[in-house]
Chain A
Amino acid sequence: MAKLYSEKKITETQINLNPKEETVSFLLNYSKALSVIHCNNLKFEALQN
């Protein structure tokens, strides 16, 4: 029988191609913590815990 040389389909990963909850949660928390301070014509980034 002829051999198949084509690559296998990635079925496992195609089912759930979404970022982890922690990643999204981190991003939302990062957004909340990040603030930009305007001072004269300068902008400063500040990360608050």
Chain B
Amino acid sequence: MRHELITDAALVSNYLKGDESALSVLIHRHQQKIYSFIYSKVYDRDITEDIFQDTFIKVIRTLKLGKYNEEGKFLPWVMRIAHNLIIDHFRKNSRMPKFDNSGEFSIFSVLSDSSLDAEKTIIKEQIECDLRRLIDELPDDQKDVLMMRMYQDMSFKEISDKTGVSINTALGRMRYALINLRKVIDQKNIILTN
């Protein structure tokens, strides 16, 4: 309560005269406002702590160098320094974006390595091999349509031209090929996922 009676201007003046405790009063008086202001912009406790510290280092240096001349406006002046340091922080980060993994959101949950590792490559080869064997078990007409459609990427029109059947027949054979494949996969409990 005693401290509240002394104005910021008087505390700054005392500090400039060498009273170090005046700085302590100033910091404790305004720390919450300044800290909250910084945190409201950066949303990171560690960065807030850094900017808060840098703000007061600048305040101390400016005061000790005798460059402070905004008597009576101590808090707005400190806020302006903090504001400038926040802008510096964002400028620096936009040049070199940083992703921290400390929060709930992890950047690695959205970034993934799409290339397969050795184990997955082997599994993929096995799945493809198994699938080929299953396709070989299909009746020839269904197998031909499926091979032309899936492996040679032909349209049903091209398949119909090549095999001499109508498009509808080709579509029907493709449909039965898939139904039969699913049936065999279900019956034999084959897992075809990586």
Contacts and interface: CB of A to CB of B under 8 A. Distances in A.
Interface residues of B, number: 23
Nearest to B64: A36
A31 B60 contact: yes
A8 B52 CA distance: 25
B36 A17 contact: yes
B60 A30 contact: yes
B57 interface: yes
B52 to A, nearest CB: 5
B112 interface: no
Contact of A17 (B20, B39, B64, B65): B39
Contacts of B20: 28, 31-32
A20 interface: yes
A48 to B, nearest CB: 13
Contacts of B52: 19, 23
A34 B28 contact: no
A35 B51 CA distance: 22
Given A13-B39, A19-B35, A27 B61 contact: no
Interface in B47-63: 48-49, 52-53, 56-57, 60-61
B64 A24 contact: no
B35 A34 contact: no
Given A18-B32, A28-B24, A32-B20, A45 B65 contact: yes
Given A28-B27, A36-B64, A36-B65, A17 B35 contact: yes
Interface centre among A19, A20, A23, A43 (most CB of B within 10 A): A19
Given A17-B36, A18-B32, A19-B52, A27 B27 contact: yes
Nearest to A10: B43
B56 A27 contact: yes
Interface string B45-83: 100110011001100110011100000000000000000
Interface of A: 10, 13, 17-20, 23-24, 26-28, 30-32, 34-36, 43, 45
